[in-house]
Structure 1
């Protein structure tokens, strides 16, 4: 090491030049006796920031301290206490270097007036590593009050890595007082404390007002999402849905009529939830559709569905008796339809045998219910999920359209169609609707055409990879008896099939690729009535007469009408049997 002194004439300061020389590798190291000059210097374990290069060091007068960057200043001094067990008093300079780099990155990211930092004199106290820290100001020889506050706050805010204990800083620049002014540190402290206290009080007041307003806003949002929040059943005011003929049931009433939702009264289940049979005090039997938690709609959507269903009154549409909206429950109470779904009868599960005449009656009743929704309901309703599973049969085998979980209202402003997300059941789904996402009443007509082909074949729309519409078109030959479709017909149809060819023609018109080429449901009703006359039936008498009841027409034991995959199970989402493209 070489030390040279230099006196600067203009400033009167004395500077020292320190040069560190390393002889490692020098030829003189090969001479005997010079080994001690050739040994690499060991780092100082008590101070990690010793200069490792030549440096001009000014002579620091008074209590100015020489910083690592060779400038004299009054540093901000304190102690860093590391809590992490990985730190130890190892004396390894690389540990301190990484800490110094972290601190400098912290100060630079906060744009604080810090030139450099220095760590020294590490000690272990009660398993905590304590290291002295000096923070040197940038561009001046001392920090001002703002600088000290910002640096101290930045260090004290790093609670996850270390804590910082600062020494009092006594080197603020003296600001000359105006002539005639009196110095009073006590007055400044009082004014500062008063100002700070007032600010804190205002801050707390603001926080309280803000919290109260947020609470009120949350309460208003809850009431808006729950349309029955202000519903006083006794007054019949507030957020009451505009119901026509349907009533509200209390949760206790539902529990009582279902015997506390006993399994004996559980007559079906599906994706929506469970369906229970219940008997009202009037003796009326009802089907109660109880939504499970994950299937529940928002309050506004539930209210909209209630208002829609309560307006639908037709003998060929399943009627809504009432609902329950209490204790976080959503339940719909329908009229009980005893003979189950058309799908169960066609598959033989219900034990009901449907011959050709009974199937014509089912087709007529279903068409009338659907025509009512399209042409007489106000506003018109598109069902969107017509299928054999959603056609229920009452005690006289009159068909009723059920399950309005996917239905859409067709407002006047929508001019014949509504653009909406595609939902429905694969096999019954209108390909034009699927491609354009424009829903019209002709989409229901397509589904009804598939239903008609299902009535004559008793086959699922898609079975073993074969689509019933395509299969009928391939096999059909109008020059032959029964259009050459004997191989596709259900054997239980019987041998007398009056009007069969016209029935098939109508079904194929309903499943035309273009909706414009399909008939309206009102036209479908009239054509089925004509077909029934060809079969020797009076459509007016058949639709209202006491035709074959369950006991007269069944051969076997009936399963329950609301069994698995019942009509109360909405076909929402994409599954092997349903489609819901996004």
Structure 2
């Protein structure tokens, strides 16, 4: 499928390349057009554009007394990276601006070899007059050889300064700079906000950073084929399910721009190609096509969706829905009613955050119930980061805190200080007045809670808003305290004392419900305090489910709920504290020591026990629905416990095979069958746990779009190696030579079964648990065996166990050698494991 699409793209490019170049290069001519090859001694040509050395430019001013030029003749990703200007101290480029308004600022970084400086560890901080663009970036922890950044800044003065800040007694550097004016109509001042729904104004006063720019269903579009010098990449690696989308295309000459869409919005090549709904192997055609994008959850994003009906034969036949995260952006969207024709471009702008509780932003299209044709279309997509209130696009540091004090700033310092002091005094007085009012109100009468009441486990009646009462004086609980199943009821003051008034330094996590703080109770008990955000509807649902679920459950491998606080308009849950945090932190992304193979197996076994209890130990099956490495927590002894039951759901009744429900969970871990059919079973947790197993083995994220296409999804990538019997080639290098081949083989077989396409082919969590314990036994006995191998079936005669389907044990290849051994070695391994399993002191 992928190869066929690639050939179609190639033929399409060859057929219409000349047309595209002619069309795209004739329109917009920027007034300001600075293309700088920093540190170069000669002009550099890149895709039809000439970059001029910064030493030969007279139209801008370079400020920096001490700078050196580093050159390289080695192979580099692009000619712009053949040289760099290195700054041992703060330096700046000041550009004369002839046309005020939005400008591209494009920066190129590549740490070329330099005998004097180690550019890979050099921190890079870049600020303009008003915005922080980049803050303390280093290549040392970056998964890439070069960095390209594109920003859109609204310049309102006659000059623009780009400041490069050297910090930590190190140098900083840059290879190339673009400052290019763009049409004012490219970015509006207002867009539709999705959460909460309403207009989002003030974009003209914000800085923007391009994060993703995609040409759906089409090939890569390079800057020379875009009048504004943009790059549009193909969308395929961001598709959640590849088979869910089908590429369509027309001759770019057929695209007819209306008066309300300028060619500068997107080149006709973007509108001439699209993704529509493909064959996702489902019995019904109401599935969605979804793209998944990792984003920084601390920022808001401008999302532009491009549409052009190059698929339909008739007007008003294509009606579909567009979703961004869980929000419906365009319901019953009849594209031709806006364009009054086919092959006519249209676009729509939105503002959104990342999906609640995750670091992903998702965009989906799907058919509408009233549509004559059950299909949907998307031609292009842009996801652009919006600067925060600190006027930063990277972190929370402001320009004033990053940029050294300049003489022009000193003259304004007295005025600024006076304004700040006056404002602070006014705020303080207002705060004192507010505190007095709140104190008086709390003494006079109990406060009502702004959230909905909870139907609690153990209560036979549902509490209505009008009947909410508290049995504790001075509180405003909407929860009846008659139920003893909810644990301890905390006063808000107790929570304040335990968390030092919610000290930011005690934050240990952030989710869709709110922030999680480390706390210490009066008796010295460490706890985790999850404080709800009343504005989060997802958080409310999560809170309700969490308290209902955990009030019923107690198990060594489930995180325990200690109690709650429902006072002063707060919703707070208090859990046992897990000293070693989430499993993911011990696999990648931190400086924590690597886990041994035995530790990893024991952690997986603990998590499997917790999930097995959820599926079989409660009165009714409970499906977790969000199994991932961040929801497996480790205590001080590295005992694993499953956490976060906000998305959990009761399993099907005895006479049912599944629960029909909207798809929820984390991308990268989602069961593809559940995603396609919206039919949830406990086997959905088994699939997610299979992803966790591969994450534990390989020490990399479940999804990593910066990797080559075949490596983006760990489940797909690891399975290709598992089927070849070569998992040892992709596992964490730390484990190399430290894992018994027999244990690895059994672990790989277990993960492979978990990741089966269809739930009926997956084992139960009980089967998974048994096989992981067996893999651990193989690992523990391997030191006593010459060649410990596992070619047995799952069941060892003589050991009582629940009936189960044995896993297939096909011969695999490890290090290029047949992994099966002779019968004597197999018998020896089995006997050794058997002797420990039946001996209670064996472990």
Shift of 1:243: 4.6
Query: Which one of the candidate residues 770, 775, 782 is aligned to 1:526?
Result: 770
Change (3 A) 1:429 1:237: closer
Shift of 1:242: 3.8
Q: Name the SS of the counterpart of 1:286 in structure 2.
A: strand
Any conservation in 2 of the 1:419–1:439 contact (CA below 8 Å)? yes
String of CA shifts for 1:341-369, please: whole Å, max 9, x gaps: 11111005151321211111111011001
Which residue in 1 is equivalent to 2:667? Answer: 426
The whole-number CA distance in structure 2 between the counterparts of 1:224 and 1:346 is 45
The whole-number CA distance in structure 1 between the counterparts of 2:467 and 2:669 is 36
**Residues 1:232 and 2:471 aligned together:** yes
TM-score, normalised to structure 2's length? 0.36
Q: Name the SS of the counterpart of 1:423 in structure 2.
A: coil
Which residue in 2 is equivalent to 1:344? Answer: 585
Any conservation in 1 of the 2:718–2:727 contact (CA below 8 Å)? yes
Any conservation in 2 of the 1:232–1:238 contact (CA below 8 Å)? no
Which residue in 2 is equivalent to 1:123? Answer: none
TM-score, normalised to structure 1's length? 0.51
Change (3 A) 1:294 1:518: same
Change (3 A) 1:242 1:474: same
The whole-number CA distance in structure 1 between the counterparts of 2:726 and 2:564 is 50
**Residues 1:500 and 2:744 aligned together:** yes
Change (3 A) 1:501 1:400: same
Which residue in 1 is equivalent to 2:756? Answer: 512
The whole-number CA distance in structure 2 between the counterparts of 1:238 and 1:402 is 23
Any conservation in 2 of the 1:356–1:494 contact (CA below 8 Å)? no
Change (3 A) 1:225 1:335: same
Query: Which one of the candidate residues 709, 730, 735 is aligned to 1:488?
Result: 730
Shift of 1:273: 1.7
The whole-number CA distance in structure 2 between the counterparts of 1:239 and 1:300 is 18
Higher strand proportion: 2
Change (3 A) 1:477 1:370: closer
The whole-number CA distance in structure 2 between the counterparts of 1:351 and 1:323 is 32
Change (3 A) 1:308 1:335: same
Correspondences of 1:146-225 after superposition (within 5 Å): 224-225=463-464
Shift of 1:490: 0.5
The whole-number CA distance in structure 2 between the counterparts of 1:252 and 1:232 is 17
Considering Cα pairs closer than 8 Å and 6+ residues apart, tell me whether 1 or 2 has the greater RCO.
1
**Residues 1:265 and 2:509 aligned together:** no
Change (3 A) 1:428 1:243: farther
Change (3 A) 1:438 1:282: same
Shift of 1:519: 0.5
Any conservation in 1 of the 2:512–2:539 contact (CA below 8 Å)? no
String of CA shifts for 1:232-291, please: whole Å, max 9, x gaps: 148x99834745361111111111211221223233334432111111122111010111
Q: Name the SS of the counterpart of 2:563 in structure 1.
A: strand
Q: Name the SS of the counterpart of 2:508 in structure 1.
A: strand
Change (3 A) 1:237 1:434: closer
Any conservation in 1 of the 2:755–2:762 contact (CA below 8 Å)? yes
Shift of 1:401: 0.7
Shift of 1:470: 1.8
Q: Name the SS of the counterpart of 2:766 in structure 1.
A: helix
String of CA shifts for 1:478-531, please: whole Å, max 9, x gaps: 5xxxx2233311111241312101110110001111101100001111111111
Larger radius of gyration: 1
Shift of 1:327: 1.4
Any conservation in 1 of the 2:611–2:765 contact (CA below 8 Å)? yes
Q: Name the SS of the counterpart of 2:549 in structure 1.
A: helix
CA RMSD of the aligned region, Å?
3.3
Unpaired stretches in structure 2, ≥5 consecutive residues: 1-449, 454-461, 782-832
Any conservation in 2 of the 1:460–1:468 contact (CA below 8 Å)? yes
The whole-number CA distance in structure 2 between the counterparts of 1:243 and 1:438 is 34
Unpaired stretches in structure 1, ≥5 consecutive residues: 1-218, 548-582
Correspondences of 1:530-569 after superposition (within 5 Å): 530-536=774-780
Query: What is the aligned length?
Result: 321
